[in-house]
Chain A
Amino acid sequence: EVQLVQSEAEVRKPGECLKISCQVSGYSFTNYWIGWVRQMPGKGLEWMGIIYPGDSDTRYSPSFEGLVTISADKSINTTYLELKGLKASDIAIYYCARHSIGGSVASPFDFWGQGTLVTVSS
């Protein structure tokens, strides 16, 4: 069974950094692109970026380039989303999701993590 399990909700102060995780199981981690999606309160889904864990090839949306870092650790089947210099505008639920076709970004997200709520408050 394919599963993506994300780290728990986090609270941080403005200016701090945060790394949230997404550990997968039930399929070959290195062979499928995984993406990160943001949902701000009351807003829609925003595509942030993706990583191919096999070689750590990473692509970002221009809206998030330089603001976040996506990485992967093949030894523990985990991908990470690092948020830098947190602001109140970073308050959101962050989802990881797997592209459905191995090796292809031209495919939908078929499995999703449960989401990680990030709160930024002084």
Chain B
Amino acid sequence: DIQMTQSPSSLSASVGDRVTITCRTSQSITTYLNWYQHKPGRTPNLLIYRASTLQSGVPSRFTGSGSGTDFTLTISSLQPEDFATYYCQQSYTIPNTFGQGTKVEIK
């Protein structure tokens, strides 16, 4: 299986902050990297796919970058509705493993 390592596992930030979450894979996945937002009691929501393509309807403050083994999700200006847990997932090979998640909390 491809191992996914997200960092940090949690962070505290204020509204308006720029937030960066990283995801590293144990082998190259080219750009088959997806990002999801998950709030308690809700279903996960696809934010970005193929490393940098914004899913329809997702605000432009979310951006993704990277290729190979190193990827980044950036929230340019954190909004109150962005407090959630974020997961990366590779869809390069089966099993399509998830990262362990990054919980973004209010400072």
Seen from chain A, the residues whose Cβ lies within 8 Å of a Cβ on chain B are 35, 37, 44-47, 49-50, 59-63, 95, 97, 99-100, 105-110, 112-115
Contacts and interface: CB of A to CB of B under 8 A. Distances in A.
B96 A45 contact: no
A11 to B, nearest CB: 19
Contacts of A49: 95
Contact of B98 (A47, A112, A113, A115): A47
Main secondary structure of the interface of B (DSSP, over half): loop
Contacts, number: 68
Contact of A44 (B32, B91, B94, B98): B98
A45 B34 contact: no
B83 interface: no
Nearest to A106: B91
A45 B38 contact: yes
Interface string B1-19: 1000000000000000000
Given A61-B1, A62-B1, A107-B49, A47 B87 contact: no
Contacts of A35: 96
B95 A106 contact: no
Contacts of B92: 106
Contacts of B89: 45, 47, 108-109
Contacts of B98: 37, 44-47
